[in-house]
Amino acid sequence: MPTSAATTVFTNAAGTLLAHPAGYAEVRYAPTPLRIADLQPLLTQLGQLLLQRGWYRILLDGRQLKPLSDAVKQWTQANWTAAGIARPAHLELATLLPTDVFSRLGVQELQLGTTNGNRSRNFSDEAAAHAYLTSLPS
């Protein structure tokens, strides 16, 4: 569960993508406003990592996320949630919700708009999120 146990795969202004040795991807969003120009390559790399390793489990660490713009939410719905970016069809997400209430509302709005069979569970504790992901079949 500590970041030091994971290997950095990609990093940019949107955040850092890590490969966890327990067999899941980890996205740690940066404490800056998300821009589509930065989010697109991060999610593209995430999709590639999942496909290359045969993974479907993701820990999303959004604790430092700033409020999401409408443009970012719409782009995410159209390109990630609707699987416009190449990735496994089914995903299991363990989300560490943002501490900022407006950011948290934006993330939950995206989660509620997901109807494609992906499952997302929210956690306030990283150890609990890790335990959930590792309890799932590989």
| pLDDT of 1 | 47
Instruction: Report d(CA 91, CA 21) in Å as an integer.
Output: 18
State pTM to two decimals.
0.92
Residues 77, 82, 83, 85: what is their CA dihedral angle, to the nearest 10 degrees? Answer: -30
Instruction: Report d(CA 102, CA 132) in Å as an integer.
Output: 26
Instruction: Report d(CA 87, CA 83) in Å as an integer.
Output: 7
Run of H or E residues at 86 = none
| pLDDT of 132 | 98
Run of H or E residues at 127 = helix 126-135
Residues of the chain with pLDDT under 50: 1-2
Residues paired with residue 19 on neighbouring β-strands, in sequence order: 7, 25
Residues paired with residue 93 on neighbouring β-strands, in sequence order: 58, 120
CATH topology of domain 3-135: Transcription Regulator spoIIAA (3.30.750)
